[in-house]
């Protein structure tokens, strides 16, 4: 039987509707939230693909297909469209910034990185403030990142991680970028900044948290070696210090200039210690800084790690010009926090604490951090004397007239053996240490004047007037049970004492043995000897209370979850670390290296805020 044409049409129409019911030309498909968010937020920096707003802009002017095949022609066409507009449209400027960055990455053409910088700046900082993009617009943050990344890529030395700035004219895809550069900020006291390295792209290891101060400009780190005529350590900074910088390319009236063929701009460098904002077009804009990446980069190239055990055995620090170091020049009005490391350790072990505390503006604006370096195998009293001498010298140097009260309220923080050194800045010993050693007064011994001066400096102490508060972390006030074992004493016998101590020891031993309470002594004790429970030094020191005028705080590590009173951290027992005069005591369930534990760091933060009345 034949089917009529009308019936055939009806069947075909029904089939068409059936198929259409399965897949409409426009529709939706539910996906999981993470997939949806990735699609909405993808951009050239996160995925290599343009963000949706940029795709829309190219699509709007029928340039999408051309962008895929000939991106330089598509960008040039969109640039011409922008120039023809009575006022450059933000949508077009942003698409040009992101599209130029993408093409620069693929082609390696620096001109497009610089073009991305110019477009992003024009998008972010219009002459008319009313046209400034909303901070809630996701393109705003991305435009900052395109500007920052494009800046370092555009001025990078080919084949190198460094960037270089100079007064010069650079090619742009649509004209020229005339850059002026004032190198004055490269002179930093007795140092000259050099070798500028971007730090935003560095992967950080070894630090728990990564802090960054989001804003505009490229975060850099620079070498700052001392000038040849300067004395090493003359500014209390390490020779291999890395200085944080921010580089900004300023373009006046960017939306007007970008419509021409020549753009005038200026590179501005700022030291990142205190410069956190910049004025652009009458607005205060935050600067981009990478504090954690800068710190990790500096420590990665430091020699302090190899000194930890060398400084214990061989005393390789004894010829340093200064033992007190900071990471920035002295700032008047900011209280010094002096961090004193423990045995076979170094200033690098304070990295997590410095990283966390330095990110807190309350701490950063009221404190400056100093580090005391010492040969940890030396006698404790000798190292403590060097600490006191170094701090006195700093006070005299930075504040000879006594007009900066911040230098009279220092906070000293000591870990392990470092805590013993700190305590010896805050006690009145009288002649207790000497009487424990000798049967006769010091003046009755037949020794050279240099030996007598050394003994007086090391064994007779009073609370130092510049110490305002002390913090003890895992400190063996009554000795360490590990110091008393056979291996520790074998290592102690390998310690090479400085020549000054060697001469003093020989001078002392030339006296009659009956004058000394310690019999059979053939050499001066090392720090391990001093920290052995029952040793005369810790016995006397533990009996001396911290001055009532100096608040003391204890942070004590105890491993495991057993009773605190019978516990230890693997090196020091709780009963040795506890002192009655502490105004606060925090027990942290940790191993001996508790100074990098979050609870210990937060306790130090609390103490510092309390000290400056900021709590």
How far from chain centre, in Å, is Cα 358?
7
**pLDDT of res. 321:** 45
Q: How far apart are CA 240 and CA 225, in angstroms?
A: 6
- Segment 533-567, tens digit of pLDDT: 989 999 999 999 999 999 999 999 999 999 999 99
Q: Which residue has the higher pLDDT, 35 or 550?
A: 550
pLDDT reading at 104 higher than 50: yes
Q: How many helices (H) and strands (E) does the chain have?
A: 23, 17
Question: How many other C-beta atoms lie within 10 A of the C-beta of residue 333?
Answer: 11
**pLDDT of res. 519:** 55
Q: Mean pLDDT across the chain, nearest whole number?
A: 88
**pLDDT of res. 447:** 82
Q: How far apart are CA 167 and CA 342, in angstroms?
A: 49
**What values do phi and psi take at 430, rounded to 5?**
55, -135
Write down the CATH number for the domain with range 303-478+534-611. 3.40.50.1820
Q: How do the domains of the chain map onto residue ranges?
A: 44-294, 303-478+534-611
- Segment 496-520, tens digit of pLDDT: 566 677 677 777 767 766 666 665 5
Q: Which residue has the higher pLDDT, 272 or 22?
A: 272
**pLDDT of res. 355:** 96
pLDDT reading at 124 higher than 70: yes
pLDDT reading at 283 higher than 80: yes
pLDDT reading at 332 higher than 90: yes
Three-state SS across 582-605? CCEEEEEECCCCHHHCHHHHHHHH
**pLDDT of res. 358:** 95
Give the Å distances, CA to CA, from 189 to 225, 231, 235, 244, 316. 11, 13, 9, 15, 28
**pLDDT of res. 346:** 87
Percent of the chain with pLDDT over 90: 67
pLDDT reading at 230 higher than 60: no
- Hey, which of 278-282, 307-311, 459-463 has the most confident mean pLDDT? 459-463
- Segment 151-173, tens digit of pLDDT: 999 999 988 889 999 999 999 99
Q: What is the mean pLDDT of residues 252-258?
A: 96
Of the candidate ranges 243-257, 309-323, 568-582, the one whose mean pLDDT is the lowest: 309-323
- Token pair for 434: 């000497």
Name beta bridge partners: 337: 369, 411
On whether the CB atoms of residues 270 and 245 are closer than 8 A, the answer is yes
- Token pair for 130: 């009313």
Q: How far apart are CA 202 and CA 190, in angstroms?
A: 29
pLDDT reading at 288 higher than 50: yes
First to last CA, the chain: 97
**What values do phi and psi take at 180, rounded to 5?**
-110, 145
**pLDDT of res. 119:** 98
Which among 272, 293, 288 is positioned nearest to 207, based on CA atoms? Answer: 293
- Segment 338-379, tens digit of pLDDT: 999 999 888 889 999 999 999 999 999 999 999 999 988 889
Q: Which residue has the higher pLDDT, 430 or 21?
A: 430
Q: What is the mean pLDDT of residues 72-101?
A: 97
Confidence of residue 197 (pLDDT cuts 50, 70, 90): very high
Q: What is the mean pLDDT of residues 99-127?
A: 97
């Amino acid at each position: 039987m034949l089917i009529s044409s009308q019936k055939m049409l009806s069947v075909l129409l029904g089939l068409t509707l059936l198929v259409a019911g399965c897949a409409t030309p426009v529709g939706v498909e539910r996906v999981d939230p993470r997939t949806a968010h990735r699609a909405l937020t993808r951009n050239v920096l996160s995925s290599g693909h343009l963000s949706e707003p940029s795709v829309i802009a190219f699509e709007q002017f029928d340039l999408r297909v051309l962008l895929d095949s000939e991106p330089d022609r598509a960008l040039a066409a969109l640039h011409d469209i922008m120039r023809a507009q009575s006022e450059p449209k933000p949508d077009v400027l942003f698409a040009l910034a992101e599209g130029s960055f993408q093409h620069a990455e693929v082609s390696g053409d620096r001109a497009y990185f610089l073009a991305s910088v110019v477009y992003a700046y024009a998008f972010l900082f219009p002459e008319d403030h009313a046209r400034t993009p909303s901070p809630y617009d996701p393109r705003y943050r991305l435009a900052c990142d395109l500007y920052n990344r494009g800046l370092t890529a555009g001025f990078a030395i080919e084949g190198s991680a460094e960037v270089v700035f100079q007064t010069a004219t650079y090619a742009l895809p649509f004209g020229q970028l005339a850059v002026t550069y004032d190198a004055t900020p490269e002179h930093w006291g007795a140092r000259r900044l050099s070798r500028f390295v971007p730090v935003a792209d560095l992967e950080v290891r070894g630090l728990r948290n990564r802090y960054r101060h989001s804003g505009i400009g490229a975060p850099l780190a620079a070498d700052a070696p001392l000038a040849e005529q300067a004395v090493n350590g003359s500014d209390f900074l390490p020779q291999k210090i890395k200085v944080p910088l921010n580089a900004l390319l300023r373009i006046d009236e960017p939306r007007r200039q970008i419509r021409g063929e020549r753009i005038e701009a200026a590179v501005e460098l700022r030291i990142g210690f205190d410069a956190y904002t910049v004025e652009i077009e009458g607005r205060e804009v935050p600067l981009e800084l990478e504090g954690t990446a800068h710190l990790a980069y500096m420590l990665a190239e430091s020699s302090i790690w190899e000194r930890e055990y060398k400084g214990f055995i061989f005393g390789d620090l004894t010829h340093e010009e200064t033992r007190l170091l900071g990471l920035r020049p002295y700032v008047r009005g900011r209280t010094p926090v002096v961090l004193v490391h423990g045995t076979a350790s170094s200033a690098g072990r304070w990295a997590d604490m410095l990283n966390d505390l330095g990110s807190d503006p309350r701490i950063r604006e009221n404190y400056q951090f100093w580090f005391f370096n010492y040969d940890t195998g030396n006698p404790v009293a000798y190292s403590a004397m060097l600490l006191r001498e170094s701090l006195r010298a700093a006070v005299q140097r930075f504040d000879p007239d006594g007009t900066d009260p911040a230098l009279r309220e220092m906070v000293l923080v000591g870990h392990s053996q470092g805590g013993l050194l700190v305590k010896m800045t805050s006690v009145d010993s009288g002649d207790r240490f000497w009487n424990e050693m000798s049967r006769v007064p010091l003046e009755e011994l037949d020794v050279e004047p240099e030996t007598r001066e050394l003994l007086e400096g090391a064994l007779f102490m009073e609370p130092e007037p510049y110490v305002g508060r002390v913090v003890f972390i895992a400190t063996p006030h009554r000795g360490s049970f590990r110091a008393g074992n056979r291996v520790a004493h074998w290592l102690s016998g390998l310690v090479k004492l400085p020549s000054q101590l060697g001469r003093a020891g020989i001078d002392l031993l030339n006296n009659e043995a009956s004058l000394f309470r310690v019999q059979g002594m053939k050499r001066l004790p090392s720090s391990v000897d001093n920290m052995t429970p029952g040793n005369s030094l810790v016995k006397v020191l533990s009996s001396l209370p911290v001055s009532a005028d100096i608040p003391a705080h204890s942070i004590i590590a105890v491993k495991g979850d057993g009773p605190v009173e019978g516990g230890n951290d693997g090196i020091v027992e709780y009963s040795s670390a506890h002192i009655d005069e502490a105004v606060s005591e925090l027990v942290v369930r940790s191993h001996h290296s508790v100074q990098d534990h979050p609870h210990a760091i937060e306790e130090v933060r609390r103490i510092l805020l309390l000290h400056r009345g900021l709590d």
